Structure formats: C-alpha cells, structure tokens
Homo-oligomer: A and B are copies of this chain.
Amino acid sequence: MQNDELEPNGPDAPYAHLLAMAREVQLLQSSAALLSWDQETFMPPEGAAHRAKQLALLARLAHERVAGAEFAGLLDEAAAAPTDPAAAVNLRELRRLHERAVRVPPGLVAELAETTSLAQGEWAAARAASDFARFAPWLEKLLQLSRRRAECLGWPAGGEAWDALAEDFEPGMTAQQIAPLFASLRGPLGELVRELRERGQEPDTALLAPAVPVAAQERLARLVAEQLGFDFARGRMDLSTHPFTTSTCSRDVRFTSRFRADHVLDGLGSTMHEVGHGLYEQGLPPTHEGTPLGETVSLGIHESQSRLWENHVGRSREFWEWCTPHLQRVLGNPTPPLTAEAVWRAANVVRPDFIRVEADEATYNLHIAVRFELELALLRGDLEVAGLPAAWNAGYREHLGLEVPDDRRGCLQDVHWSCGMFGYFPTYTLGNLYGAQIFEAATRALPGLPDAIAGGRFALLRDWLGEQVHAQGSRFTAAELCERVCGGPLGADAYLRYLGTKLRAVYRL
C-alpha cells in the first residue's frame, strides 16, 4: 500500500491518522537529532545548558504523543480494520513503542534522565582520576533504576531483566540467544590470537608510523567516502571527538570522523565505519519515511553495515590494491613505495590491549564478551558493584591474557553504563557476526566482487546491500532479514571463517 493512496475518511482513516502522528513524532525526534549533532560539532561551549532544555522538551513532546490516549485509540481502531503486510509491520512496531512508552512511569523516566545526566560527569571525573570508588554509587543507582525500569517493561517468560533493556537496541534479542554466540566465539578467537602471536609473522607497522597532516587525511577520507558511494548532496562529513552518524531523514545524513597525525589508518577506518552507517540511512525507503517501515532494523544490523565497510572491505587485500596509491601520496610518497600487500598486513595487525575502541578485529569481541558477562551478573545481582573492578580484571586476564593496570584502562573506560545503557555492548558483536554473514552472502551472489573492490568499483556491493538490506527498512525483523539475505540464522561460523582465513594469510600461517 502506498501511503498516499490512503483515503482520509475510508476504512483506513485510523491507520492514516496513526501514521500522521508517527510522522510528527519523527519530525520532533529528527529535530532533536539535528540539535544533538550540532552539540557535538559546532555548538559554542556555553550553549550546553540551553541545548539540554531544548532536547528535554522535544523528547517530552515525542513521548507524550506516543504514550497518549489518542495514539492508543488509533492503534486499537487501526488494528480492527483489515491490513496489508506493510501496515501490519507498522502497527506491530507502533504498538511496541506505545506499550514501552506507557509502561514506565514518568517519574522513573525523569529520575533516570537526571541520574544519567549527572552520572556522565561523575564517570568522566572518575575515569580521569582512575577512581572507581567515585563512580561506584552512581553505577549502583543506575543499576537500581534500570532494574526498576526493566520490571516496568517486562520480558517474555524464561527471560530476565537484561532482555527488557536490550530491547531498546536490538528488538527481540535475549541474553539466552546471545550467550551461545559468545560461547562459540571465545574459544576459537582465543586460539586464533595465540596462534598468530606465537607462530605467525607479525606485520611491519613502521610503514604507517610517519606523521601525516590531518588536512591531508581528511581529504583522503572524503575521497574514499565518495568512492564508497556516500552522497554528499544528501549528507555531510564533519569532525568530532567521537565519530558518529546522525540522520534526520534519508536526504540529510551526517557523519563525523576524527584524524590523528600519528595514526593514519585510524581516521580512515573511522570514516569507512561511519560511511557504512551513512549508506544504510541514505538507502532507507523514502515511501515509508517517518514510519517504522522506513527506519533501520536494529543497532546490530546497523553495526553490520559499518563493520562490513570498515573491515570486510577496508581491511581487505583488494581494497588496498585500489587505495594504496592514494595512501602513498598522503604519506608524502615514501621510497620504496608502499605495496598493497604491506599496507594490508599492517592494517590487520593483532595486538591484545586494554582499550576496546582501539582493539583489532580478533580481540574486539573478547572485550565485548567480558562486558556482556559483567552486565548480566550486575543486573542479576550475582555481582556487587564494589566487586566490578576485580571481576573486570579477572575477565581480561582470562579472555585476553592481560593484567589491567588501572581502572581508567579497565572498567571505567566506556561511557555506556554511565548513560544507563545496559544491553548495548553486545550489539557491537552482533554487528560483526551479521556483517560477516551478509558479506559472505554478497560474495556468493556477486562473483566479481573481489575484482570490483580492487578496482575501486564499490557500487556493485553498495547496490546489492541497498537492495537486500537498506531499502527493506524495517519490513523484516533482524532475524527474518538474516534468514532472507544469508539463508540461515545468525551464528558465529561465517565470522570465524572470515577472520581465521584472513589473519592466517596476514600472519603467513
């Protein structure tokens, strides 16, 4: 059904009105998205207090609409009329949003908002001082509030509080489904890392050591973003401390990157990662804009697109066939010239370290595994907040073979928990797994893919992803999309195949 075919007084009237309300909510949320983007990019330092008030008002207006009696009434009326499959998806999703909005009392919403707002400052100060005791009472309070919120939201039989919170990020995913995935990853990844480090030939990374002016890196990043197919008539690239992507609609998608003179591949990788997010947003179906059908599926699927371009493309031998001459120029034409082989190997070095955001592909999911276990234990009450640093350090010792030197480089390194985001971390690993499965499916469907990448012809992959994933919006759940695109359920095999093959080649095993 095309939305503009709806007759305002026909049997579809309640559904049409519901969609109009959903679109209004999207306009409020996308206005807030632009204000948040501005806050991270261009806002003058003293604008923060007023910006917080603007964002709080827009969030309240959106919440009032979704939680309100009018929305509920339209949902009931629309459900009573016959619907096509597309409308059924919208009704299901809008019902889900409505119920989650009404289940949590406004007082708890406000208390969480206020606590996370204060906790972030406390976390930043605690991290700077590597002083977990300072953050502990805030984490304790956030856990209590989050447990109460989870109880308000509820969860399916056999589940637990974590599931209710993870639903914000990955609808339908439960701890019970995720735990076996981590179990499948931990052993083989640990093995792989040991094998590479003990028997492999470590790549030489000195060729990437020379400092490169940030402006030159930015030019290269923009060139690569354009080549990958990011449409700058419908988007922007800017700078920010932490790279992110924001979309107000598919015709205004903005990502940020950051460049450090002494880490030339870092900024390029960040850029390709965000371009992956951006291509997804730019490829959403305009017909369904402002309704759930026109939105992305989940954070895991979103992350699959960023990881796919960052890692499966950006860390591939083929990509460096195309990109090495550009990097050679950016590095000031060193002699002997860089080779694609050498850059590719350097881009894939594996070195277990403490910091998640700087982790290589092989150890990344081990960082997430530690966090997943700990947030489950915290929410279940199996772990006291006071015991978190010791448990964290034990996890790093076990999974990564590292002795964490201090909490700054340990359990205080990530912002997520201070924002009350429990259940978020695993979406990074889901993104890696979905990404590997989708890229494997693309490789099967597109026999010319390696040559296309080596030739800088990224449209082949981009168009396929556009058709298979982006243009689908939320027509399918993450699980349904995975079955359709990859021909099977989510698992760890494709990821382990991909990583083992590549890294053993890199390490000449």
**A interface with B by C-beta (< 8 Å):** 24, 27-28, 30-31, 34-35, 38, 42-47, 49-51, 53-54, 57-58, 61, 232-236, 238, 248-249, 251-252, 254
**Contact A248-B44, Cβ < 8 Å, known A35-B34, A61-B61:** no
A232 to chain B minimum Cβ distance, whole angstroms, is 7
Query: Which residues of the other chain, B, contact A249 by a CB distance below 8 angstroms?
Result: 47, 50
A139 to B187, CA, bound (A): 75
A251 to chain B minimum Cβ distance, whole angstroms, is 4
Contact for A47 among B38, B49, B57, B234, CB less than 8 A: B234
Is there an interface contact between A45 and B233, defined as CB atoms closer than 8 Å?
Answer: yes
Contact for A31 among B58, B236, B238, CB less than 8 A: B58
A429 to chain B minimum Cβ distance, whole angstroms, is 33
Is there an interface contact between A50 and B236, defined as CB atoms closer than 8 Å?
Answer: no
The majority secondary structure among interface residues of chain A is helix
> Which among A50, A233, A236 has the greatest number of chain B C-beta atoms within 10 A?
A50
A30 to B43, CA, bound (A): 13
Query: Which residues of the other chain, B, contact A58 by a CB distance below 8 angstroms?
Result: 31
**Contact A234-B44, Cβ < 8 Å, known A248-B50, A252-B51:** yes
Query: Which residues of the other chain, B, contact A38 by a CB distance below 8 angstroms?
Result: 34, 38
Q: Across the two chains, which residue of chain B brings its CB closest to A254?
A: B44
Is there an interface contact between B47 and A248, defined as CB atoms closer than 8 Å?
Answer: yes
A28 to chain B minimum Cβ distance, whole angstroms, is 7
**Contact A234-B46, Cβ < 8 Å, known A38-B38, A54-B248, A248-B54:** yes
**Contact A27-B44, Cβ < 8 Å, known A34-B34, A38-B34, A61-B61:** no
A61 to B27, CA, bound (A): 12
Is there an interface contact between A251 and B57, defined as CB atoms closer than 8 Å?
Answer: no
A31 to B57, CA, bound (A): 10
Query: Which residues of the other chain, B, contact A236 by a CB distance below 8 angstroms?
Result: 42, 44
A233 to chain B minimum Cβ distance, whole angstroms, is 5
Contact for A44 among B43, B53, B232, CB less than 8 A: B232
A246 to chain B minimum Cβ distance, whole angstroms, is 12
Q: Across the two chains, which residue of chain B brings its CB closest to A57?
A: B27
A284 to chain B minimum Cβ distance, whole angstroms, is 12
A27 to B248, CA, bound (A): 19
**Contact A57-B28, Cβ < 8 Å, known A50-B251, A252-B46:** yes
Is there an interface contact between A251 and B49, defined as CB atoms closer than 8 Å?
Answer: yes
A187 to chain B minimum Cβ distance, whole angstroms, is 46
Is there an interface contact between B50 and A252, defined as CB atoms closer than 8 Å?
Answer: yes
Query: Which residues of the other chain, B, contact A27 by a CB distance below 8 angstroms?
Result: 53-54, 57
A42 to B43, CA, bound (A): 13
Provide a sorted-by-A list of 20 A–B residue pairs whose CB atoms are within 8 angstroms: A27-B57, A28-B57, A31-B35, A31-B57, A34-B34, A34-B38, A34-B54, A38-B38, A42-B42, A42-B236, A44-B233, A44-B234, A44-B252, A44-B254, A49-B251, A50-B249, A50-B252, A51-B248, A54-B248, A61-B61
A30 to B58, CA, bound (A): 12
A46 to B248, CA, bound (A): 12
Q: Across the two chains, which residue of chain B brings its CB closest to A232?
A: B44
Query: Which residues of the other chain, B, contact A232 by a CB distance below 8 angstroms?
Result: 44
Q: Across the two chains, which residue of chain B brings its CB closest to A24?
A: B57
A202 to chain B minimum Cβ distance, whole angstroms, is 43
A4 to chain B minimum Cβ distance, whole angstroms, is 15
